[in-house]
Amino acid sequence: MNRVTAHIMYEMSLLVLLVSLIAVFYLAFEDPDAEVRDRLRSLRRPTVQDLKEQELSRPLADRVLKPVLGAIYEAVRRRTPTSVAKNLEQRLQRAGIQMDAGRFLGAKIMSATLGASLGLLIATAANVGGMEVSLLTGCLGVSGFILPDVWVSRRCSSRQMRFRKMLPDALDLLCVSVEAGLGFDGAVQKVSEKFPPPLSEEFSYFLREIRLGSPRPESLRRLADRVAIPEMQTFCAAVIQADQLGVSISRVLRVQSDQMRVTRKQRAEEQAMKAPVKMLFPLVFFIFPTIFIVILGPVMLNFMQIWRH
């Protein structure tokens, strides 16, 4: 490519890269309560002067970037199949991310655009040929499109691991609270106050649904679906069954607490048994060669000196 074309491509890729960076950072640091505050602010009757001052006092990103991104997210949401959007929202919910499917897909498109523009910028700066430009741009674009999914999966796994660690202790407190005379909802409230997120967040959301009139079995099923670990599903199923059959809830909680501790102990033993297998690769490829060099190195040097003489 000639110098003029390379210069134009460099400036265009730099512009696209800058716009994509602004969009991604705006999405990452956007206040989730901003929409609620805007709705509350719109309930009062402002004058024309108040509307003008209010519009001018808003940041430039809210006046320019937010409507454009909103239109993109809405267009993506309308063209997304319902089943895909539902599965994606379920994944986001399990990862603890307050975002709908259209916004997340829009973020993936912005991330792919950012990666493709970065690849174009690198290829233009390096002055490579057309095939290399397409390959680099395509690879970085696909990587940018996949990275949000990887981030969601890792966050979901980390969140489920924290649930598995906290759930036995939470069930102990739940059982003690019920045996002390509290009701089940009061015991759940006590657990949500004493434990850190994400356990407190999910139990608080469960109590909020109960207060809004949702039946307890339905709220427990939704809780099990949001957490998506076998321990929580077993616990919710046992509480639902005890509630339907009239069994003592404290006895069910005691059995579930003991079972959770046995399960956690078995999982720790399983991880300990996997440790030697996981250590085999670094031992063979990193530690053993070093030991062989330290032990056999002087011997080989002595043999070489002997053969020279």
- Encode the chain (309 residues) as per-residue pLDDT tens digits: 555 555 555 556 666 666 666 665 555 555 555 555 565 555 555 544 555 566 556 666 666 667 777 777 778 778 888 888 889 999 999 998 888 888 888 888 888 888 888 887 887 777 776 777 788 888 888 998 999 999 999 999 999 999 998 999 999 999 999 999 889 999 999 999 999 989 999 999 999 999 999 999 999 999 999 999 999 999 999 999 998 888 888 899 999 989 988 988 998 899 889 888 888 888 888 888 888 888 888 888 888 888 876
Q: Does 230 reside within a domain? A: no
Q: Does 208 reside within a domain? A: no
- 149 is in which domain, residue-wise? 3-158
Q: What is the pLDDT at residue 76?
A: 79
Q: Does 32 reside within a domain? A: yes
Q: What is the pLDDT at residue 301?
A: 84
**Best CA proximity match to 22, nearest among 60, 65, 70:** 65
Q: Does 196 reside within a domain? A: no
Q: Does 28 reside within a domain? A: yes
Q: How many domains does the chain have?
A: 1
Q: What is the pLDDT at residue 48?
A: 46
Q: Which amino acid is located at 69 in the chain?
A: L
Judged on CB neighbours under 10 Å (0-12, 13-18, 19+), 31 is: exposed
**Best CA proximity match to 98, nearest among 144, 145, 38, 33:** 33
Angle between helix 82-94 and helix 101-126 axes, rounded to 10 deg:
90
Q: What is the pLDDT at residue 247?
A: 87
Structure token digits, residue 72: 């993109």
Q: Does 169 reside within a domain? A: no
Q: Does 205 reside within a domain? A: no
- pTM, full prediction: 0.74
Q: Does 130 reside within a domain? A: yes
47/175 Cα distance (integer angstroms): 57
